[in-house]
Every structure is written in C-alpha cells, then in structure tokens.
Structure 1
Amino acid sequence: MYFDRRQLSDDELVHLFRHLLWPRMIEEKMLVLLRQNKISKWFSGIGQEAIAVGATRALEADEWILPLHRNLGVFTARDMPLHRLFAQWKGLPQGYSKGRERSFHFGSQEHHIFGMISHLGSQLSVADGIALAQKLSRSGKATLVFSGEGGTSEGEFHEALNVASVWDLPVIFLIENNGYAISTPVQEQYRCRNLADRAIGYGMQGFTIDGNNVLEVYHAVREARRYCVSENKPVLIECLTFRMRGHEEASGTRYVPPELMEAWKKKDPVEQFTHYLIRENILSLDDIQAIRQEFQQQIENELRLVQSYHQPAPDVQTELSDVYAPEPPMPVAIGGTASEKKFIEAIHEALELAMEEHSELILMGQDIAEYGGVFKVTEGLWEKFGKERVRNTPLCESAIVGVALGLSVMGHKAVVEMQYADFVSCAFHQIVNNLAKIYYRWGQNANVVIRMPTGAGLSGGPFHSQSNEAWFFHVPGLKIVYPATPEDAKGLLIAAIEDPNPVLYFEHKALYRRVSGPVPEGYYAIPIGEARVVAEGEACTVVAYGAAVHWALEYAAQHPEIDMEIVDLRSLLPLDMATIERSVKKTGKLLIYHEDTLTGGIGAEIAARVTEHCFSYLDAPVMRCGSLDTPVPFSSALEKQFLANSRFEAILRKLLAY
C-alpha cells in the first residue's frame, strides 16, 4: 500500500499511528469480554479504523461528527475517557447514557459527537442542521456525517444531500462502503458503479478513495473540509473498505466468499501503516511493542476502574423525570390590555414576537417565505426577518425535521411548518425516534416546534383533513398542544417555542378565520399541560379540544336547559388529568368529544384513566363521541356525516338519561 505523507512530520505520523492502533486494541479486548459474557453485544469496526481515525483527525476538535456503530475510532480520536466508554458498553450509569443506550448510540456535546440511532440515514439531515447553524454564524466550521453503503438506499440520504446542496451547506457526507449491509452485498444494494457518482445528481463534488489507507482518508477529508468551509458547499466521499467481522458478533461471516476475506486481510489498515512506518524508519519494532504494552496496561487500568462501579437499583421517578428536559421560566402577560384577533392572527403574532425575542429562532417550511405559506400564517415575516431565518424548504419533510434537530444541537430554536398535518407521516421517524428520545438517551434537548395545520370541515378529502394527534400521543418525550381560542393559540405557541422539548402544535384550519377573541398584548406563554374549564355545570362533563370545544359551546348555547361543564384540554401531552378528575367527581358523568376518529383516539385513554381512578364517582358509563372510523371523505355531505358533531346530541342525551 502506498502512503503519501505530504507535509506530515514524523511526530504527526506517529501520533496518527497511535490513534489507529488504540481502537484496534480496545476492540480486541472487547471481543474477549464478549466471549466471557461480560458485555452483551458488539459491532466490530476491525479493518475499518483508518476511516474513523483519519477523518476525525482531519477535522478541528470543535467540529461536529455524526458517526455510526463501527466508528470507535471517532470516539477515541476525540480522547473520550476509556473508562466511561467501558461503562457505556456495560450499561452502567457512569457511561454517557445512564445505561439507557447501547454501544455507540449516544452523543456528547463536550466532544462534538452526535449520537446515532438504529434507523440508518437519520443522522444525515441532522448534520445539515448543524452545518446550517455553522453557516449562519459564519463560524468557518464544517460537519462530518457517516453513512454505510446500505444507508444510501434510504430516502433520508437523498433528502439530506439535496438539502445540503440547495442550501450550500458545509457538510462532508462520508460513505463507508464495506461490502455488505448485514448480509446483503453491494450488487443487491445499488446499480451505480461508484456511490460517489450520486453526488453528480445533487450538484456536489464526490470522489472515491481507499478507506484502508489512513493517510489517504486524512488528506481527502482535510481537503474536503477546506473546500466546504471556503465555498460553503457539501462534499460526498466514498471510502472503500471491508467489514472483517459480522454485522454484529453473533451474525458471523459465513456468507462472505473466503477468497474475498483473504484479499482484504492483506489490506489491513493497521498492519499496512505499521509496515510503512517501519520501512521509513519512523518507528522500530521495539517502539511499536512499547506502544502496544503501554496501551495494554492502560486498557487493563481502565477496566479495573470500571469494575469498581456498581449498578444502583433502578428508580422509576428518575426515569420518568429524564424523559423531558426541564422547562425554563415562562414569560407571563403583563397588564390587562387585549385586542380582538382572529385565530390565524394570534398564531402569526406569536411567531413574529418570538422571532423578535430570539435571534436564533429559524422558521422552516414549504412556501413559507415570499408566499407566506398556503394558509398565509407566515405572510410578511420573510420581509421583516430575512430569508436566512424564514426559509423555504425543498419538499422533504423528514430531512427538514432532522435539520431542525441539528439546529437545536447548536443552540438554535426551530419552528417547522407542515403544510398540512397529513404530511407529517413523511417525517414520522424523525419525530418519534430522534426528537422524542434524544433527551432521555443522552441529555440533548430538541428545541423544535412542528406546526400542524389540521382537521376537516373544509372538504379537503382524505389527505388534507386528517386529525392525527393520536399517532403521537403514545410517544414519550413529545409534547402535544391543540389550542381552541386565539388567546391560547398565541400563548401555547410561545410556550412551545420557549420549551426545550419537541412540541407538536396542532392548529385547526377551520378555526383560522372563523374564530375571533381577545388576545392579550405582549409576549406571554400559557403553560403546557394545563386544561381550562370554559363552562361551569353540574349535569355532566364534556371534555374536548380544538374545534370540538366550539361545537360543545355552540350546543350548550342552543340548549341552556342542559347544565353541562365543558373542559378544554388545550394540551394533550402531558395530559391534565387532575382537572378532568375534579370535574368528573363534581358531575358524575363524562363525555369525551373529539374530531379524531373514535377507535384508538385520545378519548379512549381518558376514558380508561377516569374509569380506573374515578369509578366510584361515576353515575353512568364514560362515553365518547368521535368521527367515523373511515378516511375523511371529500364531498361536503359525506364529510358532515363523518364528523363527530353529527352524533354528539344523541350520545349526550343517552349519557344524561342513564
């Protein structure tokens, strides 16, 4: 193997060698521990160390890297303490994720490493977000993100590359092409000659290198970094290498032809670089042996330290309290001044005030800049705050949510507009797997708000009318708000932006211009997780949210003889059960009213909890009123039949008569 040292000194080459040998020796020890049943699983990067080490050493120490589970060399090259890594791999609380994550599924702000998840491709768009923050701050930094060759088949790969190219982001996309995605060989994975050729379609530079040559990797990433920073453009690098062991150790390598394994053994990156340093008289055999002995002693010392750690008894309250990042103090309304505003005007005002309050806040979505969004919620914000902060996005919901997470890593706030709530299904993975779990996994906040224009009543048909809040209600780590009044629309949106946790903000399209009300002046927040009794009564409790609150109030106004209490949930997650239970204990009867389809809706959870905790106070079975269990139909007659309010009176009368 030919090594081109260029301007690297002997000391720099030795330093690089030490970084290359260190993860190899750690891995060899890990395989021993695995056979001794002292760790449960291991994903080996043996034979691929040159990529992780060369790429990491080519970057500056404060430039972010988003690695995968074969990139031990990234973590060790960033000088992460080995005893903490051992604790991580053994599931101990002294690791980086308090025992909540496996192997390399964790990150560290201190070391500028973002923790991977198992869903391949999901890190690529997060890298875009980090790079966007770097570009906006003019920091002169680049971001490096890893992908395997299998991950290039994921839609997120293509979305992320497209966004990086369109927005001219300083991202290095590095593909480790190691021949197999578990057991699927490359010829069954893609048809292009080189994966680097995919760069052409996205208008970016791309090239293929020998991933087993640590100097070639180092120089290539160094040059790519220089280009990214100077030109503010992305680069795609394909590193050819081979996975010498199974996908994970239990998998084995029986599917690999023996001659292929033998060919790649001759290209071992550690052995090849060792031979080079000896050949060039930079290190002797004695020098190398001394380094090995030093490393072996250090590994044993670090392991002994970990053996002194103990595993405390699990604590339920600790686990629950770490699902959400702590909330900062929220702004409150000052004075009693209020003005009449439409629902949509209240949302617009909240966004405008938040943009003034937080210079680091970025708005993103399809057509939200000059066009003002399809519902004109963001109209005029582009002119006031500029296109760097009010950003039109390509049509790629998943990548943009990933970008929002990347911005959050860099201290930004982000509000993403889904053009319609229906389209959030395209970003489902990023929301439920990346955003929702990241604080619990390794303490990284996700200061992201996703605005969700939702609901039926406008003849939008099956794909522009869905109420899909229940999709996310089951996901720990998310917050869900659903205002019904202009005052709440403004206050809850500001609260969502202030909150360091991911918040889904549902805004009913039918309320935009049909509902008006007094909205306090200034920058104020309404606490997330607090319901409100909007009408006092004794005969029964009606719990509702969104448009159903107005349906209930309209019905109550038309039937003053029915003394019903109406509770507006305002927030769905966390759910204010205390307010619901107080009302039920007062009235003895409960009807849960929502526009969402009946089966599996949020009403079912409320009914279960009330039955469990308030059974002795109930004078009738808990009843629910939801929309038909069908897709939302287009025709106005069918849609009217579909909606829950067409059945409300019959169910209410049944409850009262029980």
Structure 2
Amino acid sequence: MNTKLKYILLFQALDFPGGKVTYIPEMRFLSESSGKRIPCYRVLNENGEIITGSDYEQLSEEVSVKIYSNMVSLQMMDTVFYEAQRQGRISFYLTSAGEEAINIASAAALSADDIILPQYREPGILLWRGFTIQEFANQCFGNKDDYGKGRQMPIHYGSKKHNFVTISSPIATQLPQAVGIAYSLKMDKKDACVVTYTGDGGTSEGDFHAALNFSAVTEAPVVFICRNNGWAISTHISEQFRSDGIVVRGRAYGIRSIRVDGNDVLAVYSAIHAAREMAISEQRPVLVEALSYRVGHHSTSDDSTKYRPVDEIVYWKMERNPVNRFRKWVERNGWWSEEKESELRNSVKKQLLQAIQVAEQTEKPPLEDLFSDVYDIRPPNLREQEKQLRETIYRHPQDYPSHVPL
C-alpha cells in the first residue's frame, strides 16, 4: 500500500451516529485544561474610563442615568431591608451588594417581553422593569398586598406583569424550566428570549448541566447568566470545580459563550445585548459568565467573615465597586453631579422608609389564603389541616393576634 493511499484511509472522515470523525494512529488524550485562561471582556477600567479599542454598545444619557439611579436604589434598598431584618421586622433578607452591575445592566439590555427566571440575587431586574419599592416591601413583610399572599420567604419576588417568574429556594431548578419556556417561545415564533440566572454554586447542580444540554439540543433561545462571585455561601470556587470557571463549560455542550467583567456596566450591557440578539435571531442558547464578587454576606443567616478575610471584602467594596466605577463614567460625560446624587439618595431613602411603614401596618393575608390556589375543590386532607390550624389558633390566641377572632 502506497503512503498516499494509507494516509487517505487513516484520515478520511467517517460517519458515526455522533457525527463525522477522522482517524489518527497516535493515542491522544484531551488535556484536562488549557494553560491559558479564557480572557474576560471589559470596557471600563477602574477609573470609569473607556479602554482604548473597546467594542461596546453606546448608551444614551437617559439610559445611562437610569442605570446608575437604579444601581443606587438597589444598593440603598439592600441596606434598609437588611437593617429591617436585623431589627426583627422581617424574617430574612439577601443583598446584591457588589453585583449591582449584573442586575441592572443586564436588565437594561433586555426587552420587557423577555421572560426572566431568576435565582435570588436579581431584584434589580424587577426594579428596572417598574416593580415599586412598595411592592418589594409588601413581599418582604408578607402582607395582604403581597402577590404571593404571604406564602413565600422574603425576597422570593415574582411578577406576571413584568415577566419575572417567582423565585424559589432550591438551587438551579429554574434552569431546565427556562429552557422549556424558551422552547415554547421558539414554537410560537415569538420575538423574545428567556434569560435565567444562577451563581457559581448553581453550576455544581445537575440541573445546570441538564439545562445546557437540553438547550443546545433543542436550539432554544435562552441566555444563561452565571454570576461567578467566588463563593457559594462558604464554599470557595476552588473547592467547587477545577475547570477554568464556567465559560468553558458552554463549549462542551455546544453553546456559544463569553466571559465578562460583571462589575463593568458597559461590558455587561453590551454582552447581554449581543447575547439576546444571537439567541433570538439565530435561535440558539448563549452562556455568559459574569465575574464579580459578593461583597455582602450570603444572606442574613450567614457571617462571611468566618470564612474569608475582612480586608478582602473591604477591598472589593471600596476599590472594585461597580456603582462607583459607573458613576465616574456618567460624571465624566457630564450627566451626573453631587447635587443629583444627594437628591436621588434622599428621595429613595424617603420612599423606602415610607414603604416599610406602610407594609408593616398592612394586615396579613386572610387565613383561607393559605389553603387556596391549589385545588378547585379542597380535598379532605386540606380541609382537615385548615381545621387543625384554626383550632390551634383558638387555643393560643396570643401567638396569632392577626388571625383572631376566627
């Protein structure tokens, strides 16, 4: 056999059920990881200056000011509600400190028709879409004006009006659900996509991998946004995975992916804007890894100083703050001033304090709401549970003042 024919037989492409492949005579294992990390897309440096040669979407003064105002509002909302929890006025809270840019910039890059399936650190999307501070307060206090009728934990927001699917505690369950919804949009030929969020900890769940594979196979218009903030509660990323972060996982499932500086508003906005266009026009999933840092504790049930140094937290809070960085940029453009800053903060603080006062004084949902919305006709077991609960309240009225008299 001549050398040319032997070469043809060795390297010709042959069909298998999994696709065409070529043969080689050498034994080659794929490397477990590349020596060079995937680069991170960035537009603004730490001083709020555009990096020379940056490829990004231009923002108008109106949109830029709204983004910054929403970031400040989110920051203040977190501070006030966190303090309310510490005062015992609400049972639980969780902040977005350090990740305001991912929240607000991604929301700004989307259409109101795009459906959001959040994890639990995305209240900024609702804020951007018009969810009021009073509505946030009603949910956290679980009063009769809470859309969840007081049956959810605080911060488990949801709004059909704003295409924001209600938050739930189990990690990553929303990811496969997002793919299913995205596939329905595709079947209906809608000019919209689904955007779903998770943290780096969520990528350790099986649902993350199932969702990526599901979306790639069905070619669903869904954008996965992973907030890689370094910590899954107290578990550092070095103890979660050996790969180069999250972005490399997209390629394994056949999904276009990008790594972006999650503390850079212009980079996040531009990346999500482009990802959305790809998802809809090309009918494909896209994975976005946003690198950031969770400045606050995981939640009010956590003390992050027990597992990470305080000076590390302070460094990210002061030196790498996404709100401060974007403020420098809007100020450099002449769109912001100290006077506007003072007016905004005074206005938001006033709204927050008033909203909390109203929410706290608003009565709780009626007891029957606890058993409604599941069955058209309540089955015997639910009727029995309601009876037992009412009897308990009757025996201990001092513990259930909002439900007495029955």
Same fold, TM exceeding 0.5? yes
Query: Residue 238 of structure 2 corresponds to which residue in structure 1?
Result: 187
Query: Conserved in 2, the CA contact under 8 Å of 1:3 and 1:215?
Result: no
Query: Residue 355 of structure 2 corresponds to which residue in structure 1?
Result: 302
Matched, 1:49 2:100: yes
Matched, 1:210 2:250: no
Q: How far 1:260 sits from its partner (Å)?
A: 2.5
Q: How far 1:106 sits from its partner (Å)?
A: 4.1
Matched, 1:112 2:176: no
Query: Residue 328 of structure 2 corresponds to which residue in structure 1?
Result: 275
Query: Conserved in 2, the CA contact under 8 Å of 1:245 and 1:252?
Result: no
Query: Conserved in 2, the CA contact under 8 Å of 1:52 and 1:73?
Result: yes
2:334 and 2:292 map into 1 onto residues whose CA distance is 27
**TM-score, length-normalised on structure 2?**
0.77
Q: How far 1:35 sits from its partner (Å)?
A: 2.3
Q: Deviations over 1:305-329 (max 9, x none)?
A: 32441125523xx4333223x49xx
Q: Which has the higher contact order (CA 8 A, sep 6+)?
A: 2
* 1:146 counterpart letter in structure 2: Y
Query: 1:62-141 alignment to 2 at 5 Å?
Result: 62-141=113-192
Q: How far 1:153 sits from its partner (Å)?
A: 0.9
Query: Residue 24 of structure 2 corresponds to which residue in structure 1?
Result: none
Compared CA separation, residues 165 and 186, structure 1 to 2 (3 A):
same
Query: Residue 82 of structure 2 corresponds to which residue in structure 1?
Result: 31
Query: Residue 234 of structure 1 corresponds to which residue in structure 2?
Result: 285
* 1:156 counterpart letter in structure 2: D
Show structure 1 runs of 5+ residues with no match: 328-476, 478-573, 577-658
1:64 and 1:322 map into 2 onto residues whose CA distance is 23
1:192 and 1:294 map into 2 onto residues whose CA distance is 45
1:263 to 315, 319, 324: 315
* 1:100 counterpart letter in structure 2: R
Q: Secondary structure at the match of 1:172?
A: strand
Query: Conserved in 2, the CA contact under 8 Å of 1:170 and 1:233?
Result: yes
* 2:332 counterpart letter in structure 1: R
Compared CA separation, residues 31 and 105, structure 1 to 2 (3 A):
closer
1:284 to 326, 337, 343: 337
1:168 and 1:226 map into 2 onto residues whose CA distance is 14
Query: Residue 571 of structure 1 corresponds to which residue in structure 2?
Result: none
1:200 and 1:176 map into 2 onto residues whose CA distance is 18
1:298 and 1:261 map into 2 onto residues whose CA distance is 29
1:308 and 1:157 map into 2 onto residues whose CA distance is 41
* 1:125 counterpart letter in structure 2: P
Q: How far 1:189 sits from its partner (Å)?
A: 0.4
**TM-score, length-normalised on structure 1?**
0.48
Q: How far 1:115 sits from its partner (Å)?
A: 1.5
Q: How far 1:11 sits from its partner (Å)?
A: 1.8
Who wins on radius of gyration, i.e. which is larger? 1
1:257 and 1:229 map into 2 onto residues whose CA distance is 43
Q: How far 1:108 sits from its partner (Å)?
A: 1.9
Query: Residue 339 of structure 1 corresponds to which residue in structure 2?
Result: none
Query: Conserved in 1, the CA contact under 8 Å of 2:119 and 2:172?
Result: no
Query: How many residues of Structure 1 are paired with residues of Structure 2 in the alignment?
Result: 328
* 1:215 counterpart letter in structure 2: L
TM superposition outliers: structure 1 runs of 4+ over 6 Å: none
Query: Conserved in 2, the CA contact under 8 Å of 1:104 and 1:115?
Result: no
Query: Residue 468 of structure 1 corresponds to which residue in structure 2?
Result: none
Query: Residue 18 of structure 1 corresponds to which residue in structure 2?
Result: 69
1:101 and 1:262 map into 2 onto residues whose CA distance is 33
Query: Conserved in 1, the CA contact under 8 Å of 2:141 and 2:359?
Result: no
2:356 and 2:234 map into 1 onto residues whose CA distance is 33
Query: Conserved in 2, the CA contact under 8 Å of 1:194 and 1:208?
Result: no
2:199 to 135, 138, 148: 148
2:260 and 2:154 map into 1 onto residues whose CA distance is 28
Query: Residue 296 of structure 2 corresponds to which residue in structure 1?
Result: 245
2:257 and 2:76 map into 1 onto residues whose CA distance is 33
Q: Deviations over 1:77-113 (max 9, x none)?
A: 1211221221110121211211100123342211101
Q: Secondary structure at the match of 1:150?
A: helix
* 1:258 counterpart letter in structure 2: V
Q: How far 1:575 sits from its partner (Å)?
A: 7.8
Q: How far 1:32 sits from its partner (Å)?
A: 2.0
Q: Percent identity?
A: 32
Q: Which structure shows the higher strand fraction?
A: 1
Compared CA separation, residues 251 and 141, structure 1 to 2 (3 A):
same
Compared CA separation, residues 122 and 6, structure 1 to 2 (3 A):
closer
Query: Conserved in 1, the CA contact under 8 Å of 2:150 and 2:365?
Result: no
Compared CA separation, residues 222 and 6, structure 1 to 2 (3 A):
closer
1:249 and 1:243 map into 2 onto residues whose CA distance is 14
Query: Residue 372 of structure 2 corresponds to which residue in structure 1?
Result: 321
